[in-house]
Chain A
């Protein structure tokens, strides 16, 4: 089964609004990463948060991690049409590979 599960599966918002995506996982992790995928091709790494961190910022991105609830959230503030993409969380689960969720499809309309 998937280690990371994102919700919602799809999210549609207007430019300027904030977008929040959530990720839940099952086993202990060393870190959790968020990736973006445009048009079903290569993924781009957005941000990594370690298991001993609770919050991390990068530009318009804010990631939180709650290891007690085994969940993370990705907030994109002041969204733009160019943010339209699929967003995946990935966990290492203590192994040397990443396990990805099914992703959240974000559509930002002008």
Chain B
């Protein structure tokens, strides 16, 4: 595709429910990143994939958060038993590889999650 796409663009859920957020990276990009951005804050790294494996999961806030990637393409970020503090914009980015010395990350428009 032309760019990184994310769905849904907005999600409102009730506390305790599970949510799934989807990211479609740019075709051919092997690296994929998930970030969280709370209101008025910077980006908080969650997890990244190189291909289908996740070398770095250190940013996941708790075991309620998980992510997977299949076919070196689509990734889903799942949040179980959502809490109000999970409310944020979840941003996905992709890059040609994880070699950050030369590669730019291209961001999707984000999913705004609101937990009531």
Contacts and interface: CB of A to CB of B under 8 A. Distances in A.
Given A42-B110, A97-B48, A102 B104 contact: no
Interface string B9-38: 000000000000000000000010101010
Contacts of A100: 35, 42-43, 45
Nearest to B106: A45
Residue among A31, A92, A96 with the most chain B CB within 10 A?
A96
Contacts of B50: 96
B96 interface: no
Range class of the A interface residue count = 20 to 34
A43 B50 CA distance: 21
Nearest to B46: A97
A42 B107 contact: yes
Interface residues of B, number: 30
B43 A96 contact: no
Nearest to A33: B104
B42 A98 contact: no
Interface in B98-116: 98-101, 104-110
Contacts of B79: none
B68 interface: no
Interface of A: 2, 4, 30-31, 33, 35, 40-45, 48, 50, 88, 90, 92, 95-103
